[in-house]
Chain A
């Protein structure tokens, strides 16, 4: 599988801050590439540079093996992007918007094919309604239809689940999987909903303050041997005191959300359970936390913020 996107030394400085600082990463063909970072980390700025909305201060971007700055139009022909909240022309209907953007994307589709596109995102029944009557979720789906109308090779989704209800989020997740597995598209998806990325991403890039923190295969990054287990007890204070004088003390993690966290191998969970009962700790629940979230918090500066709030 070849490299579809190659970014080297990408930097973007604005007047008062550097949003992206010497960022390098690559996306392989067929990847679902998860782009993670807190708000203000530089995700959107990076994505905007990929689709030429913003000019980099330094660095190079190659897409489909071509330099972006020299082959912009040809590259954009093969990219479909949804940048943040997709805004379309509110005074036009969904069908008119799709038709308009299809023309601008260089494709000439019949009315039936356009309706088919709307049907795929569940908007066929609202095709003739003006967009100003649409909910945020419907606008998001229309944005995705517009991004896909010209059958692009690379799809870039920036915060695609913003404003969606759980069903909508699930639909987006299924769509991403469908694009990747069934249609062999390459998808870059940025989000702050870590559990969603965890479910779809094959590779992940985590950035913080404009810099790359880590990049790699999702499976390699999240070591199941280092699972964080969350305990809820009847008396957390008593439970914590007991654990601190037990053999599990070295595995204790900083408390969060009034839960006790222990970092252990998943295979040790049954033994932990038995020991907790022996220590006369009344358990309300014991469950493993999402490994990506913890990994993310571990590698970014979010931990400091959490300690402040929990004390």
Chain B
């Protein structure tokens, strides 16, 4: 199994297409950093206009932690496409290249082969997120410095102290890894059914877009379905940036407002991953390789 995983990782990282995602992430973050470095004050002013009508906000709002949050909000909607590029290609790409039949005549269990491919896709996902963390968090901490984090939610505002933020990002990235692994597992499942990567990639993105729309729309009939959609739970990383207050409305350092919500979301995502991967294994074991 370990040999299989090594071989799969070797194939992924020898393929030029793999690096598109890393370059895309670097490019996107670079553009955001450039824009905020030049025009960050205007952006902050726009963000804060509701607050500044009654309050004066002093301090370095546009700091590394703030920029990282902005980057994550934008990118974690688009990174799924980059994940799908590799995950949805794992089986269909092999079929398209014609290498699937040579691989499956080698002495290895189909289940091991599939799981090794999935784990390689997960490793790719994690590396992409580490890359994202390096650029979005560490690089921004260097470029913009660090300070408190000022977050605008829909009904309230959260101000987190500088020394109460880094651990939240560590957990948030961990949760984002779980979200992106869910996307990878969906793309991986679709990959079983095609001999060309385009179909599974488009199908994965279509499902994500469709479910995200259902998750966002505030229509009563959809509200019953929302808790079961993985897209509703993919943004669970944001819950790490909400804090509890005591009776005197003082925020409690190191606390999370809704830890149960995070746990529930993590469980839902985990169950989706298990479901998609199990379905993939069941389909693949019986699959006739005609390519």
Contact = CB atoms under 8 A, between A and B. Distances in A.
Interface of A: 48, 51-55, 72-77, 79, 81, 83-92, 96, 100-101, 103-106, 143, 146
Contact of A76 (B4, B97, B106): B106
A53 B103 contact: no
A76 B290 contact: no
A87 B102 contact: yes
Contact of B107 (A73, A85, A88): A73
Given A91-B15, A103-B3, A104-B7, A86 B104 contact: no
Nearest to A85: B98
Contacts of A146: 102
Contacts of B16: 91
B43 to A, nearest CB: 42
Contact of A73 (B3, B101, B109, B289): B109
Contacts of A104: 3-4, 7, 103, 106-108
A83 B14 CA distance: 25
Nearest to B106: A104
B98 A53 contact: no
Given A53-B289, A55-B286, A104-B7, A91 B14 contact: yes
Contacts of A79: 105
B99 interface: yes
Summarize A's interface: helix, strand, loop or mixed.
loop
Q: Which of A48, A53, A101 has the most CB of B within 10 A?
A: A53
Interface in B103-142: 103-109
B286 A88 contact: no
B167 interface: no
Contact of A77 (B15, B99, B107): B107
A100 B10 contact: yes
A101 B104 CA distance: 11
A106 B11 CA distance: 18
B247 interface: no
A227 to B, nearest CB: 40
B171 to A, nearest CB: 37
Contacts of A53: 101, 104-105, 288-289
A86 B102 contact: yes
Contacts of B99: 87-89
Contacts of B3: 103-104
Given A92-B14, A146-B102, 10 more contacts: A54-B288, A54-B289, A54-B290, A77-B107, A89-B97, A101-B102, A104-B3, A104-B107, A105-B106, A143-B102
Contact of B105 (A83, A100, A103, A106): A83
Given A53-B289, A54-B288, A104-B4, A74 B107 contact: yes
Contact of A83 (B7, B15, B102): B102
Contacts of A74: 107
Contacts of B286: 55
A55 B99 CA distance: 19
A73 to B, nearest CB: 5
Contacts of B290: 48, 54
Contacts of B102: 83, 86-88, 101, 143, 146
B267 to A, nearest CB: 35
Interface string B272-291: 00000000000000101110
B288 A89 contact: no
A101 B15 contact: no
Nearest to B98: A87
B101 A105 contact: no
11 contacts: A53-B101, A73-B107, A75-B107, A85-B98, A89-B11, A90-B97, A91-B14, A103-B3, A103-B7, A104-B106, A105-B107
